[in-house]
Amino acid sequence: MKPRIGFFDFTGCEGCQLSVLNLENQFLELLELVDVVEFREIMDERSGNLDIAFVEGSISRREDVRRLQGIRKRTKVLVALGACADTAGINALSHFRDLKTLKTEVYGDGSLMQDLEHPMPLNAYVAVDVRIPGCPIDGKEFLAVLQALLLGREPELPSYSVCVECKLAELPCTFDRELVCLGPVTRAGCHAQCIEGGDRCRGCRGMVDNPRATPYYRILETHGLSEEDILREFRTFNMRGGGQE
């Protein structure tokens, strides 16, 4: 029997699921190895127990918590799919606003979203077995993680920073353009696509392990950023993973 997998979404843009669908032929080949039994983007069916659940989006309502806990109970492996699921991502910017005021501004008085809460990552409520970071995720990394899971291996994320990928690609340092870049403390695996495209790293893949144990953290400080400046930059994708500072 093929492993049964499902895709689920909470608060987010669903860009990570679209990244999976954009694999096209590779996704069709994937269907020969697994049974996709739940995936709202492409099917209406619902199923029972799962071997692997890929969950996108942050948790922002009490109803979401109950639904997430239900998914956790019926799957062997739960994967946080993308930045919103992994760290609460951009959604966590709401942590720095008064929630009542924010709800009124967005939804108006008498909002139907009365149960809206500050978005949190999946691991605030359930055990997460595997993470696939990024905004959106990298399709090739998704396939590599899935392959490892199907083979019974522990998926591994890069433990080094985006700066390493920049150097390997011989890209000019973003700081030379007088732009603040979070590449020194952001987990690699994106192939430095933003820097190659002329932008800067904004930290969508979250922090490397023990960033202060590496010399890269000092790069931010040597370019004149105070600790407050650095923490402000970390807010964009909630790199610290816990909402408020």
**171-210 confidence digits (pLDDT tens):** 999 999 888 899 988 999 999 999 999 999 999 999 888 7
**Phi, psi dihedral angles at 185 (to 5 degrees):** -125, 10
* pLDDT on residue 104: 84
* pLDDT on residue 27: 83
Q: How sure is the predictor about 110, in pLDDT bands with cuts at 50, 70 and 90?
A: low
Give yes or no for residue 242 having a pLDDT over 50. Answer: no
Q: Which domains does the chain have, with CATH numbers?
A: 4-150 (3.40.50.700), 162-237 (no CATH)
Secondary structure (H, E, C), 47-68: CCCEEEEEEECEEEEHHHHHHH
| Continuous H helices in the chain | 15-21, 25-30, 62-73, 83-87, 99-107, 139-150, 162-168, 193-196, 216-222, 227-234
Give yes or no for residue 153 having a pLDDT over 90. Answer: yes
* pLDDT on residue 244: 42
* pLDDT on residue 28: 86
Give yes or no for residue 213 having a pLDDT over 70. Answer: no
Q: Are 122 and 132 in contact (CB under 8 A)?
A: no
Give the percent of the chain with pLDDT over 70. Answer: 92
Question: Which helix (DSSP H) or strand (DSSP E) does residue 38 occupy?
Answer: strand 35-39
Token pair for residue 70?
């239900």
Residue 86 burial by Cβ neighbours in a 10 Å radius (0-12, 13-18, 19+): buried
Token pair for residue 100?
């009542």
* pLDDT on residue 41: 74
Instruction: Look over the chain and give the mean of its residue pLDDT values, rounded to a whole number.
Output: 89
